[in-house]
Amino acid sequence: MRVRLSYTAEVDEVLSEVALLLGSLAEAFLSSNNLYNEIIADLENEEFNPNKFHENIDALRRSLGKIDIRCLEAEQVVTGLGEYERRLREAPQQPPSSAEAPSPAVEITESGAEDD
């Protein structure tokens, strides 16, 4: 299931909002790292379980995918802010109309076949 969340922020608050968005990934990084370490330990175990390996590697890939999506979203927001600021520098005598100004909304989109 895909869900889109959005909210608005003042232009000068966009970077701090992106920092919060990326900061929310700390737990996902720790969880992914723990799962990674478990996979490595299981591979070195004499009683290797291929089924457990496939389950864990799939879970790790899903977790890393979610991290990747958040990083991409953060990049898109910062890119949009940069474009907005570039347009302001190029035409300082004419502030952009509301139709030209990018929405300072941060949009979060989950992708994938299933959510856990």
User: Do the beta carbons of residue 15 and residue 79 sit within 8 Å?
Assistant: no
Q: Residue 96 in contact with residue 87, Cβ under 8 Å?
A: yes
What does the CA dihedral 65, 74, 31, 51 come to, rounded to 10 degrees? 0
pTM assigned to the model:
0.70
pLDDT band at 22; cut points 50, 70, 90: very high
5, β-bridge pairs: 108
Residues whose CB is less than 8 angstroms from the CB of residue 1 and which lie 6 or more positions away in sequence, other chains included: 110, 114, 115
pLDDT tens digits, 99-110: 555 554 554 444
In this predicted model, what pLDDT tens digit does every residue of 27-83 receive, in sequence order?
A: 999 999 999 999 999 999 999 999 999 999 999 999 999 999 999 999 999 999 999
Q: pLDDT grade, residue 96 (50/70/90)?
A: low
Helix/strand/coil for 106 = strand
